[in-house]
Amino acid sequence: MPKQVDHHERREVIARALWRVVEQHGVSHLSLREVAKEAGISHGALQHYFTSREAMLCFAMDLASEQKSLRVSRGLKELGDQPHPRDVLRVMLTEMLPLHADARAASRMSAAYVLEALHNENIHAQARDGLAQGRLVVEQLIREAIADGHISSDRDPVAETNLLLALTGFTTLLELDVVAPQEALTAVDQYLSRLFGRNDQSEGDEGGGGHGGR
């Protein structure tokens, strides 16, 4: 009997090939033909799954987001049943930075996606909605931390969310070797310490463990 083709698996293989093209050669080399070559399939076979560069790019970005969510979930699981909101935010933020191979691939994929979004209305809408949804998750965590007394009630959750996400700007500095990974992590930890401040000082002294590096 002929072998059954797992179409989702084949799409994932193509998406990962796209990641490699972007990571190794840059977005200027991103074409259906180049991705087909990297994936080891014919141009025609690739078009069976993706009829346009746009469709291929959107799927690859969705896969990158899915993989990032899985990494965040694993990181949160390591924190235990009732993780401190500071540590939850740290895991989420550090997984947005290119601090290891998977995150670097996703970061470069995201950069290509944003560049495409600037000139493509469909991708622009999808990218904007995805970022807005992720931002709301962070804002909700900060609002809950304020309500639970972990963050001072005089903090503006909207402003603090924007400041926290602004730290993802380290991506460019890390990619171009302007700052070292540990320097970026130190800045993230110092910001979170200032955000949670005295409200959690006694709790942190009692626990004695801190949140350490990942």
Please give the pLDDT value at position 21.
Answer: 87
At residue 124, the pLDDT reads: 92
pLDDT band of residue 213 (cuts 50, 70, 90) is very low
The closest of 126, 150, 156 to 201, measured between CA atoms, is 150
Quote the mean pLDDT of the chain.
Answer: 87
For residue 189, is it within any domain?
A: yes
| Dihedral of alpha carbons 186, 189, 191, 193, sign | negative
Q: Is 171 among the domain residues?
A: yes
Rounded to an integer, the average pLDDT of 68-91 is 94
pLDDT of residue 131: 92
d(CA 80, CA 90) in angstroms, rounded, equals: 15
Whole-number pLDDT of residue 212: 43
Structure-block tokens of residue 180: 């070292």
Q: What pLDDT does 129 receive?
A: 93
Q: Regarding predicted confidence, which is higher, 143 or 64?
A: 143
Residue 212 lies in a domain: no
* Complete DSSP assignment for 52-73: SHHHHHHHHHHHHHHHHHHHHH
- Quick one: tokens of 105? 């691939």
Residue 160's pLDDT is 97
Tell me the pLDDT band of 209, cut-offs 50, 70 and 90: very low
**Chain-centroid distance, C-alpha 60:** 13
Average pLDDT over residues 102-107: 86
In this prediction, residue 140 carries a pLDDT of 97
Residue with tokens 């550090």: 94
Assigned domain for 69 exists: yes
Looking at residue 205, the DSSP 8-state letter turns out to be H
Phi, psi (5° rounding) for residue 189? Answer: -65, -40
**CA proximity to 190, closest of 100, 90, 88:** 90
pLDDT at residue 134 in the model: 92
The predicted pLDDT at position 198 comes to: 63
What does 171-206 look like in DSSP terms, one character per residue? Answer: HHHHHTTSS-HHHHHHHHHHHHHHHHGGGGHHHHHH
In a domain, 172, yes or no: yes
Is 21 part of any domain? no
**Residue 211 in this model has a pLDDT that exceeds 70:** no
What are the CA-CA distances from residue 142 to residues 7, 9, 159, 185, 197 (Å)?
A: 40, 37, 10, 20, 13
Is 50 within a domain?
no
List, for residues 135-187, the tens digit of each pLDDT value: 999 999 999 999 999 999 999 999 999 999 999 999 999 999 999 999 999 99
Give the total number of structural domains in the chain: 1
Q: Return the pLDDT at 204.
A: 47
Q: What percent of the chain is modeled with pLDDT above 70? A: 90
Residue 151 exposure: Cα atoms within 13 Å on the Cβ side:
24
- Whole-angstrom distance, CA of residue 175 vs CA of residue 108: 9
Q: Count of residues for the chain? A: 214
Structure tokens belonging to residue 190: 């110092």
In a domain, 68, yes or no: yes
Mean pLDDT score, 5-27:
83
In the prediction, which pLDDT does 142 show?
97
pTM above 0.95, yes or no: no
Domain at 197, CATH number: 1.10.357.10
Q: What value does the CA radius of gyration of the chain take, rounded to a whole number of Å?
A: 20
122 CB-near residues (< 8 Å, 6+ apart): 54
Measured between alpha carbons, how far is 33 from 53 in angstroms, rounded to an integer?
10
Parent domain of 94: 61-207
Question: Residue 82 carries which DSSP code?
Answer: S
